[in-house]
Amino acid sequence: MLIVMQVDASEEQVRRVCAVIEELGYEARPMPGRQRTTVGLVGNDGRVDGSRLEALPGVSEVIHVSKPYKQVSKEWRAEPTVVKVGPGLAVGGNAVVVMAGPCSVESEAQIMAAAQAVKQHGATVLRAGAFKPRSSPYSFQGLGLEGLKLLARAREATGLRIVTEAMDPEGADLVAEYADIIQVGARNMQNYSLLKKVGKLRKPVLLKRGLSATIQELLLSAEYILAEGNPDVILCERGVRGFDSATRNLFDLSAIPVVKSVSHLPIVADPSHGVGHRDMVTPMARAAVAAGADGLLVEVHPTPDRALSDGAQSLYPEQFARMMQETRLIAEAIGRKVATA
């Protein structure tokens, strides 16, 4: 950490900064320049709260030299993390993993039809929420435990792995019993009790970017999970709040190469919540794979017009079939392939 002093800072003010640094248990190294002095804080273990130094008289700014996260960083681990999702399937290797299914589990007939359709067209993971974090308390809240049981039945029938959301620490154990991947939704990206809880479980976690979260905040949330001992985190870009209502969110494709440049964790893309309209999902799915996404999370419904949630962004099975064909071509063009069962 570097503490840059104001041009007119007095020697007394520089001494005060050094004294506070030493009081905090670190070494202070004043570096006088032609115009101003900069004080280096040596030995920062990530625990230094820069705001205490920022407010001292004579300080112009505090520059953070190292990143606030550790274990999610490439400096901590150079090789990419490959998250195993049961036997024969992994996220973060050469194969692009497609996770598809309805927003919510609605009934046995609906989830079975959805599972069969996405399996037929080449998905390897079935997505669907049993516990739904809805913006309105009057919207469909999901089938809960009954939904988890239906997902288990769909897995039995198709061999697809299951990704489904846990909304709170109390429910995470239950979700972990049924799911192959525990989803932490956008609204819960900064639910630190939930992050600590899934960090203690031995199941892969799909962590979605928060509604208005920066990439650094996403990585810090992943850090919570790794810090508790669970290394199997898959990040997910699902769009952030924008100012333009033409799409539901602003799907941030650039998050994919940004994450790849600083972290070893795999990242998948959710173009469905990213754009919110089914006709725009496939172009963004193609783009995400081209940008280096390790997988896709896509909403597909056997009858989207009757969906209890997110019908407008759910693909018809035929649209999904086409999306898969195109995605395979893009994956091949960059030396990857789409994961197969």
In terms of CB distance, is 208 or 336 closer to ligand PEP? 208
Nearest-approach distance from CB 213 to Mn ion, in angstroms: 18
Q: Which residue is nearest to Mn ion (CB)?
A: 103
Nearest-approach distance from CB 95 to Mn ion, in angstroms: 25
Interaction with Mn ion in 98-127: which residues (CB under 5 A)?
Answer: 103
Nearest-approach distance from CB 110 to ligand PEP, in angstroms: 15
- Choose among ligand PEP, Mn ion, none what residue 238 binds, the Cβ cut-off being 5 to 8 Å by kind: ligand PEP
Nearest-approach distance from CB 63 to Mn ion, in angstroms: 40
Nearest-approach distance from CB 10 to ligand PEP, in angstroms: 51
Nearest-approach distance from CB 80 to Mn ion, in angstroms: 28
In terms of CB distance, is 103 or 179 closer to Mn ion? 103
Q: Which two tokens stand for residue 116?
A: 């069969």
Torsion region of 337: left, alpha or beta (phi above 0 gives left; psi -120 to 50 gives alpha): beta
In terms of CB distance, is 21 or 308 closer to ligand PEP? 308
In terms of CB distance, is 39 or 308 closer to ligand PEP? 308
In terms of CB distance, is 39 or 103 closer to Mn ion? 103
- Choose among Mn ion, ligand PEP, none what residue 208 binds, the Cβ cut-off being 5 to 8 Å by kind: ligand PEP
In terms of CB distance, is 185 or 199 closer to Mn ion? 185
Interaction with Mn ion in 65-104: which residues (CB under 5 A)?
Answer: 103
SS (H, E, C) the chain: CEEEECCCCCHHHHHHHHHHHHHCCCEEEEEECCCCEEEEEECCCCCCCHHHHHCCCCEEEEECCCCCCCCCECCCCCCCCCEECCCCCEECCCEEEEEEECCECCCHHHHHHHHHHHHHCCCCEEECECCCCCCCCCCCCCCCHHHHHHHHHHHHHHCCEEEEECCCHHHHHHHHHHCCEEEECHHHCCCHHHHHHHHHCCCCEEEECCCCCCHHHHHHHHHHHHHCCCCCEEEEECCECCCCCCCCCECCCCHHHHHHHHECCCEEECHHHHHCCHHHHHHHHHHHHHHCCCEEEEEECCCHHHCCCCHHHCECHHHHHHHHHHHHHHHHHCCCEECCC
**To 10 degrees, what angle do helices 255-262 and 278-291 make?**
30
Q: Which two tokens stand for residue 64?
A: 């953070």
In terms of CB distance, is 103 or 275 closer to Mn ion? 103
- Choose among ligand PEP, Mn ion, none what residue 1 binds, the Cβ cut-off being 5 to 8 Å by kind: none
- Choose among ligand PEP, Mn ion, none what residue 186 binds, the Cβ cut-off being 5 to 8 Å by kind: ligand PEP
Cβ atoms of residues 282 and 195 within 8 Å? no
C-alpha to C-alpha distances, 160 to 112, 210, 299, nearest whole angstrom: 11, 27, 15
- Choose among ligand PEP, Mn ion, none what residue 323 binds, the Cβ cut-off being 5 to 8 Å by kind: none
In terms of CB distance, is 103 or 331 closer to Mn ion? 103
Q: What residue ranges bind ligand PEP (CB under 6 A)?
A: 103, 129, 133, 185-187, 208, 238, 273
If one counts every other C-beta atom within 10 angstroms of the C-beta of residue 226, the result is 22
Q: Is 270 in the site for Mn ion (CB under 5 A)?
A: no
Interaction with Mn ion in 300-329: which residues (CB under 5 A)?
Answer: 310
Nearest-approach distance from CB 186 to ligand PEP, in angstroms: 4
Nearest-approach distance from CB 164 to ligand PEP, in angstroms: 9
Interface residues with Mn ion (CB under 5 A)? 103, 310
